[in-house]
Amino acid sequence: MTRRRAEGAGRLTRLALLTAIALTIFLIEAQLPALTTIPGIKLGLANIVTVYAVFTLGPRDALMILCARVFLGAVFSGQMTTLWYSAAGGLLSWCALCLLRKALDKRQLWLSSPVAGVCHNLGQLLAAAAMLGTWAVLAYLPYLVLAGLLAGLFTGVAAQTLIGRMEKLGR
Amino acid sequence: MSRNGKIILLVLLAAAGLSVAAVAARRGETDHPVARITWDGEVVEEIELDRVGRGYSFTLESQEGSNTISVEKGRIRVAQADCPDQVCVDQGWIADGTVPIVCLPHKLVIEIVGGGSAFDAAAG
């Protein structure tokens, strides 16, 4: 997955475009009704962009898109309290993606996404435990692991398809 | 599929298996349910749910907001909250230790612990 990295204005434009796409997906998904009564479970479709960015643009650019999306997403959805949970989850899943980036070959990078999904939910839960000052919330762990796996599988396959299509376009 | 891919797949399957096992293991009634209310990191109330006669409600208030908690024999819920997401209200009644009720914005957790003989001794 090597390719010439865009510099200067080209790179800035690409980052801005991907951030805008991720933010749009995030805000539309936030309007959908909750899937379950268990808090923190959702598809996380905006992570398709994160997976795509980590594998095609590299960890640094992906981190910038992720941070911008998490912050602006909290601002635009008006729920600043969720910022710390998404930030903790996002950073942990970004770490997982970066570690798996070299370990996986091109045909199987979708596998990194369920790992990232589980890490995201784990980070979120640890942030919640720290904020609430009790380990009682860890009762949610098995549910969140399963949800992270399934959601990650979905976004992973989507990201894999996206990367394949984009390569055919020669971009 | 490469070796790394297989390892990751195995780890994922193991995680899924363990989670299903954990969910299955946590189900089951507690014979002496005690609701422990943790608020901003401190236990503020422990209610022995099987000794509740008539149902009652009370309200916890802080500068962040308020939660009205309803208690009935054997179960507890958040009846009202002024947070934007209403996750705690939507969860409804809980009666066993499967999952606690959590109100993230107000830092409130209601969990049900199986108070065994140790609790009885402490309560006198």
Which domains are assigned to chain A?
3-169 (1.10.1760.20)
Q: At what angle do helices A141-168 and B3-26 cross, to 10 degrees?
A: 150
Report the C-alpha gap between B5 and A105 in whole angstroms. Answer: 8
Look at residue B119 and tell me whether its pLDDT is greater than 70. no
Cβ neighbours of A4 (radius 10 Å): 5
Look at residue B76 and tell me whether its pLDDT is greater than 70. yes
pLDDT band at A79 (very low <50, low <70, confident <90, very high): confident
Element (DSSP H or E) covering residue A23: helix A8-31
Please judge whether B26 and A114 are an interchain contact, meaning their C-beta atoms are less than 8 angstroms apart. Answer: no
Contact B112, B33 (CB under 8 A): yes
| Residue A9 C-alpha, separation from nearest chain B C-alpha, in angstroms | 37
DSSP 3-state assignment of A6? coil
Q: Which pLDDT score is estimated for A171?
A: 57
Please judge whether A143 and B19 are an interchain contact, meaning their C-beta atoms are less than 8 angstroms apart. Answer: yes
Q: Which pLDDT score is estimated for A98?
A: 95
HSE, side-chain direction, 13 A CA sphere, residue A4: 6
Query: Which of A11-20, A25-34, A114-123 has the least mean pLDDT?
Result: A25-34
Look at residue B65 and tell me whether its pLDDT is greater than 90. no
Specify whether the backbone of A134 is left (phi greater than 0), alpha (psi in -120 to 50) or beta: beta
Look at residue B115 and tell me whether its pLDDT is greater than 60. no
DSSP letter, residue A39: T
DSSP 3-state assignment of B38? strand
Region B18-30 average pLDDT: 78
Q: Which pLDDT score is estimated for B22?
A: 87
Please judge whether A81 and B40 are an interchain contact, meaning their C-beta atoms are less than 8 angstroms apart. Answer: no
Nearest residue on chain A to B112, alpha-carbon basis = A136
Q: Which pLDDT score is estimated for B31?
A: 72
Q: Which of residues 86-115 of B touch A (CB under 8 A)?
A: 87, 90-92, 97-100, 102, 104-105, 107-109, 111
DSSP 3-state assignment of B1? coil
Look at residue B124 and tell me whether its pLDDT is greater than 60. no
Report the C-alpha gap between B76 and B68 in whole angstroms. Answer: 11
Nearest residue on chain A to B40, alpha-carbon basis = A132
Q: Which pLDDT score is estimated for B104?
A: 85
| Residue A124 C-alpha, separation from nearest chain B C-alpha, in angstroms | 11
What is the interface pTM, i.e. ipTM, of the complex?
0.76
Percent of chain A with pLDDT over 90: 67
pLDDT band at B29 (very low <50, low <70, confident <90, very high): low
DSSP 3-state assignment of A74? helix
- Tokens 């009846």 belong to B79
Contact A118, A142 (CB under 8 A): no
pLDDT digits (tens, 9 = 90+) for B79-93: 999 988 788 898 889
Region A67-77 average pLDDT: 93
Report the C-alpha gap between A25 and A40 in whole angstroms. Answer: 17
pLDDT band at B110 (very low <50, low <70, confident <90, very high): very high
Q: Which pLDDT score is estimated for A139?
A: 87
Q: 3-state DSSP helix/strand/coil percent for chain A, to nearest 5?
A: 80, 0, 20
A170 versus A25: the higher-pLDDT residue is A25
Compute the mean pLDDT over every residue in chain B, rounded to the nearest whole number: 84
DSSP letter, residue A128: H
Report the C-alpha gap between A160 and A113 in whole angstroms. Answer: 10
Query: Which of B10-14, B29-33, B46-50, B63-67 has the least mean pLDDT?
Result: B29-33
Q: Is B53 an 8 Å CB contact of chain A?
A: no
Contact A38, A143 (CB under 8 A): yes
Q: Which pLDDT score is estimated for B32?
A: 83
Q: Which of B8, B85, B104 sits opposite A128 (nearest CB)?
A: B104
Element (DSSP H or E) covering residue A4: none
